[in-house]
Structure 1
Amino acid sequence: MRNLITDVPGLRVGNATDLALASGVTAVLFDAPTVASVDVRGGGPGTRETDLLAPDETVGAIHALVLSGGSAFGLDAGAGVMAALAERGIGFSVGSALVPIVPGAVLFDLLNGGDKEWGRFPPYRDLGYAAANAAGLDFPLGTVGAGTGATTVDLKGGLGSASMIAASGHRVGALVAVNACGATNLADAPHFWAAPFERDGEFGGLGLPSPLPALPARPRLKGLPEGAEAGIANTTIAVVATDAVLTKAQCKRLAIMAHDGYAHAIWPVHTPLDGDTIFSAATGRKPLADPVFDLALIGAAVVQTLARACARAVFEATALPQPGTLPAWKDRWR
């Protein structure tokens, strides 16, 4: 087990990173058409091809998923992944035509100090193409791919991943780009909210402080200076996956449950200033023994795994090279 989403058989992950741009793209490619769904809980989402993931829509499976920086400009990343898949003859068959099905979501990283003067066309289509062609089983975490320009309220965000085996025997994994309006750690402390779920010291092994401090009446929120209107430079986007055989309706339920992973790792979350989105995918390698109880066990494992992935995203991040950018967790507590 790599403790990565690629421990779920049937998928690979690729990243494309541009540190000068302070942004990037992460692509999840499936070895075969894969059942998937999505659930959006944030108030400011940016998404592509999410309607077709509803249980009642015609297309039954997808070929890839894309997480990107760049806000709405980053939606172009899906076209780059489509191009890479089309070159391989992969797509949804419509007569003699093949159309790769590539849903995606974006986060806002346009104000993080990177050079966004890209001219007429943004670079995200090319970054998406590069990410798709880089897909493999092993990949780095932190300031890479969609997590390159990500931040939290007071620390550098990043790309995180984790995996585990659910009590049902199914493998689950999570991949997340944490660019939250809130925080993954307690105020002015290195402890992560996701500490109760940590495994093998994967994000420092610090546990929670004792006694646990009371939460302030006013939460820490990313935005403009005190007294000004809050900013919208946020959104945490994720993919959760399992090797179970699931329907689109069951994948939808899994995506809904997965948002509890955000709630255990980020506070506050699902604000009007976030576009928090989670895709769920089932690669269909292992049937369910019980369609209800097993799904509940898989969902519980996904919650734990996504919470851990969120903490790992911040723990593994490094600060951007631009002057005046937020410090990384390791800059403050290592």
Structure 2
Amino acid sequence: MTRARNLITDVPGLRVGNAHDAALGSGVTAALFDEPAVVSCEAMGGAPATRETDLLQPDKMVPGIHGVVLSGGSAYGLDAAGGVQAYLRERGIGFAVREALVPLVSQASSFDLINGGNKDWGRYPPYRDLGYEAASRAGLSFDLGTAGGGYGATTANLKGGLGSASTIASSGHTVGALVVVNAVASAVIGEGPHFWAGALEEGGEFGGLGLPAHVSPQMRRLVWKGGPQPATTIALIATDAVLTKAQAKRLAVASHAGLARGLRFSHALFDGDTIFAAATGLKPLQNEAVEFTELTALAADCLTRAIARGVYEATALPYPDAQPAWRDRFGSPERG
């Protein structure tokens, strides 16, 4: 069952904001936690671009962090976390070390440097300012598709984008996913319009088409961005459950199944596929082993659905020869 917004912000304790630069062809999405959240991560792609991920490992001392950033810009985009830090510090948010205040913000970036936008930004890239702007816009509602960190995202054959989805576990815990779909491969079966995620769709959230009656060998043919071109799908999973850092790590690992189901294919050599998993800690687990296992399964399902939504909601970039959006090829978002 989905929450009313069907967004990661259905998980109590976090807000999300977007910012983009249309001329640049890139953007930033910032997720801010109301209180420091227990967060871990797992990078399973061969070419990740990340910041402040070592501190998220279970053996590190940091108990919680203040935000997670998903951006475009590849390694340049990692400046965005500095902008989010500046926003938080101005508001007195961070870990106090005597007179110093240090907001902890982790980040992953996707490669969108050759999507047609103007990347001639001069001495310094604009991602720090975009990060600040995204943080300043954080709220419970936010745009999907060609927005925020998904603004410049592409896939092998259709415009990528920012996706999100949520669900409620049988225990009453809420689980949500937020993803920048910038995949080396495809989110649709064959030439489309059906999504690989079709079996998991809730309420027509990405067209209501379900799965085709038969998936032929031709439809399973691998389609991917040709040549040595990096392409990264990055995501944040969140739940209101009380989790340890080790459990958050396991949640991040298990959620990678959502990438494998939503895309044909994932975790390639040139991918930077990275997933953060956050627990806002508002609702304890009662039957820990059973309820946590359900959370890992539902998180992967949410991520699969969010991938399809990111592509489904996207609009084409405003450049000559830009990739078509799903709705350009297959109809209006009301279809189905």
Cα drift, residue 166 of structure 1? 1.3
2:62 to 59, 65, 89: 59
2:31 to 21, 28, 31: 28
Which residue in 2 is equivalent to 1:210?
A: 213
State the AA in 2 paired with 1:123.
P
State the AA in 1 paired with 2:27.
G
Which residue in 2 is equivalent to 1:226?
A: none
Deviation by residue 1:83-126 (Cα, 9 ceiling, x = unmatched): 00000011112122110000000000000000111000000000
Q: How does 1:183-222 map to 2 (within 5 A)?
A: 183-214=186-217, 219-222=222-225
1:105 to 104, 108, 111: 108
Q: What CA distance in whole angstroms lies between the structure 2 residues aligned with 1:215 and 1:251?
A: 39
Indicate yes or no: 2:76 matched with 1:73. yes
1:240 to 202, 216, 237: 237
Which residue in 2 is equivalent to 1:129?
A: 132
Which residue in 1 is equivalent to 2:334?
A: none
Which residue in 2 is equivalent to 1:162?
A: 165
Which residue in 1 is equivalent to 2:41?
A: 38
Which residue in 2 is equivalent to 1:149?
A: 152
Q: What CA distance in whole angstroms lies between the structure 1 residues aligned with 2:178 and 2:113?
A: 22
Q: How does 1:12-23 map to 2 (within 5 A)?
A: 12-23=15-26
Which residue in 2 is equivalent to 1:281?
A: 278
State the AA in 2 paired with 1:73.
Y
Cα drift, residue 218 of structure 1? 5.3
1:324 to 321, 324, 328: 321
Tell me, yes or no, if the aligned pair for 1:111 and 1:233 is still in contact at 8 Å. Answer: no
Tell me, yes or no, if the aligned pair for 1:110 and 1:233 is still in contact at 8 Å. Answer: no
Are residues 217 and 175 of structure 1, via their aligned partners in 2, closer, same or farther at CA, if it must alter by over 3 Å? Answer: closer
Which residue in 2 is equivalent to 1:8?
A: 11
Q: What CA distance in whole angstroms lies between the structure 2 residues aligned with 1:189 and 1:90?
A: 46
SS of match in other structure, 2:105: coil
- Using the size of structure 2 for normalisation, the TM-score is 0.96
Cα drift, residue 219 of structure 1? 1.1
Which residue in 2 is equivalent to 1:181?
A: 184
Cα drift, residue 214 of structure 1? 2.3
Runs of 5+ consecutive residues of structure 2 not aligned to the other structure: 332-336
Runs of 5+ consecutive residues of structure 1 not aligned to the other structure: 224-229
Tell me, yes or no, if the aligned pair for 1:142 and 1:314 is still in contact at 8 Å. Answer: yes
State the AA in 2 paired with 1:328.
A
Cα drift, residue 41 of structure 1? 0.6
1:261 to 258, 279, 294: 258
Q: What CA distance in whole angstroms lies between the structure 1 residues aligned with 2:278 and 2:255?
A: 12
SS of match in other structure, 1:292: helix
Q: What CA distance in whole angstroms lies between the structure 2 residues aligned with 1:13 and 1:215?
A: 39
Tell me, yes or no, if the aligned pair for 2:190 and 2:220 is still in contact at 8 Å. Answer: no
Percent sequence identity is 61
Which residue in 1 is equivalent to 2:141?
A: 138
- Using the size of structure 1 for normalisation, the TM-score is 0.97
Q: What CA distance in whole angstroms lies between the structure 1 residues aligned with 2:57 and 2:216?
A: 41
Q: What CA distance in whole angstroms lies between the structure 1 residues aligned with 2:7 and 2:72?
A: 21
State the AA in 1 paired with 2:32.
L
Tell me, yes or no, if the aligned pair for 1:168 and 1:298 is still in contact at 8 Å. Answer: no
